[in-house]
Structures are given as C-alpha cells and as structure tokens.
Amino acid sequence: MCSSDNGHAILARTIDNLISSFNISSNFYFGGSFMATLKNILFTRYAGKALESLVIEMQKKYNEKKGRRFNHDNITYEISRAKVVDESIQFEISSKIPQDELKGDGHMKNYFKEIKKIVTSLKLKPFSVEMENILLDTNKNTEKERDYVKLLYRYPLDDLYNDKEILEKIKTLDSEAGKKSLQEIKGALTPQGSIALYLVLESTKSFAQKNIEQLIDANKQVKAKMAI
C-alpha cells in the first residue's frame, strides 16, 4: 500500500472515532462549522467509495491501467476522487485524445471540439469541459506530451438524496435486503443518517457511470466521424 493509501486509512479511522463522539442528527442538519465540516467528510467518503467501486468495475470490463485509469479502444480514461464543493459532489472524468491517430494540432483541436459539442448537449452535462495538456516523464531521458479531454461534474446534494427517498428506504429496513444494504455504511448514529449516506453512494455511482459511458460513446462517435 502506498503512503497516500495509508493516509486515507488513517483518515477513515479518525473519522470513525470522531463520529462516535458526536450525535449526528438524522437529516444531517448540523450546527456550527465543525459539524458542517464533518458532514462534508462523510459525504466525500461515501461518494469516494462509489467512484472507487466504479473504477474497479471499469478496469475489469475494459483494459486495466495503473492508478484510477483504464483503456478502451486505444483511449485511456481516468476517474478522479470525489470532493464536496458548494454543497455538491464534484469529480472529474478524462479521456486521452488519440493524438497518434490524428494529424497535427488542428485535428486534435477539432477532435476536442467535437467531443465537447456532444457532451454539452446531453441531459447530464458536465459543469466544465477543458482540453488539458500533460507532460509525462516516461523515463529519465524521454518526455511525452499528452492531451486530454477533462470533464468536471458537480451534482448538488439535493440531487443525490431527499427526505422522500429516505422515508421510502426506512420502510424496507425490516427486510433482510434492506438491512444488508446498510451494513457497510458507517458514520451515522441513526437509520435516517445511514440511509442518506447510502443514497449518496448509490446516486454518485449511478451518475458517474452514465457520465463515463457517455464519454466512451462520444469518443466512438467522433472517431467514426473523423475516420480514425
């Protein structure tokens, strides 16, 4: 395990210890900046679990690469970690522009424009779309430039769970399936709080999966259009 993974494990244990010392309200209506920060940590943690699960699924379905990346049809994709920004879950999805199959900067810029046109026309459109240039140090003597399409998504917490969904889920808690779905949820001391975290996890994964599938499809469409 790398040092960053150790850090995440330590943070997770610290969060659990902190949570056990405080009574978290069922609807996450926290008072004070500390409790608001703790709420953000919890949401970030479970949105992060959702994206981690999606990375593993994509790597199994397609060709696994290092880190949070996978390759499909000669294009590398990457799914970032999650964080809370302005009461929204935020994450990034990127795909490498297949520059080895394109002729010069003009074709690469056209490729990016075509991808942007497609993804910004969708119902689940990204918050922002950028063309990012990354310089890779492949070994001590060689550097490679790679251009990526980077899509940033923000989903307001209200889109991830609501009181109606929580009440519906409470009705299932007496069943074995209902109990099992919440077994891995740690952090809230009430059933309502656990359900809110569960819904954040499930909704984040569902949205992100649709986003990555849409980007894969957009690349497929543009490659066909440009006859690559």
- Cα 78 off chain centre by: 10
Element containing residue 85 per DSSP (H, E): strand 83-85
CA-to-CA distance for 10 and 105, rounded, in angstroms?
45
Residue that is written with structure tokens 């990016």 in the block: 112
Do 198 and 187 contact (CB within 8 A), yes or no? no
CA distance 103 to 99: 7
**SS3 label, residue 144:** strand
* pLDDT at 11 (0 to 100): 46
Tens-of-pLDDT digits for all 228 residues of the chain? Answer: 444 454 445 445 444 544 443 344 434 444 455 556 777 888 999 999 999 999 999 999 999 999 999 999 999 999 999 999 999 999 999 999 988 787 777 888 999 999 999 999 999 999 999 998 865 555 555 556 678 999 999 999 989 988 888 888 877 776 766 666 677 777 665 778 788 888 999 999 999 999 999 999 999 999 999 877
Model pLDDT, residue 25: 40
Structural domains in the chain (count): 1
Which helix (H) or strand (E) covers residue 137, if one does?
A: strand 128-137
Would you say 191 and 170 are in contact if contact means Cβ atoms under 8 Å apart? Answer: yes
Q: Which domain holds residue 129?
A: 3-225
